[in-house]
Structure 1
Amino acid sequence: MDDQKIMGTGKVELISREELRLSGVKDVHSFNEETVILETHLGLLTIGGQDLHIVKLNLEGGELEVKGIIDSFVYSDESSLFKKGEGIFSRLFK
């Protein structure tokens, strides 16, 4: 896992739109049953769906597993979401 952190890589595995496994996760910013927003080595990732549950989170290993009905997952460049003096929610809900 140390090589992964140095290189800044990540892996996304989607199984039948009901299970999403990720590597390269740095932090989880927020989550509820419809949205999970997390920081990865490749930028911010927003996962959308229904009845979403985080069933595994290992920040030391950079691993996350989400179960539910996955409708979307979108990467965003962190610099485009954060401007000086603005938080993530003020940018997302404009």
Structure 2
Amino acid sequence: MRSQQQAEHNVKVWNRRNIEISGVKEVDSFDSEEFLLQTSMGYLVVRGQNLQMKNLDLESGIVSIKGKMYEMTYLDEHQGEKAKGLFSKLFK
């Protein structure tokens, strides 16, 4: 059983081609250009080209992605319009 403390969240990037993210609670969606991850620090969007999931271990909260990364963005509550646009795009 997990403790009530917030899971540690880290992002490691090697040469913009390999990404390891810890503290992932859920993978909401992904394709070759965009991953939407729910982390212990909020939603994280990773955008790039030829993105592929290398490893997914939700029990330990680690996701590994390979491909060329262009952008990483956190969607905070004060960015409501941006998040709303992203979710409406996803659920059309």
- Name the TM-score, length of structure 2 as normaliser: 0.81
Shift of 1:8: 3.5
Query: Which ranges in structure 2 are unaligned for 5 or more consecutive residues?
Result: none
Q: In the TM superposition, what are the counterparts of 1:2-41 in structure 2 within 5 Å?
A: 2=2, 6-41=5-40
Alpha-carbon distance between aligned partners in 2 of 1:54 and 1:29, rounded to the nearest angstrom: 13
Give aligned pairs, total.
87
Paired with 1:56 and 1:8, the residues of 2 have a C-alpha distance of 19
**Aligned mates of 2:77, 2:58 — CA distance in 1:** 19
- Residue 77 of structure 1 deviates from its aligned partner by 1.6
Seen in structure 2, the aligned counterparts of structure 1 residues 53 and 60 have a Cα distance that, compared at 3 Å, is same
Displacement after TM superposition at 1:92 (Å): 7.2
What is the RMSD computed on CA atoms of the aligned residues? 2.5
1:90 to partner: Cα distance = 1.4
Deviations 1:4-56 (A, max 9, x none): x7234301000000000010000001000000001000000000000000010
Alignment-derived partner of residue 69 in structure 2 = 70
CA contact (8 A) 1:44 1:78 kept: no
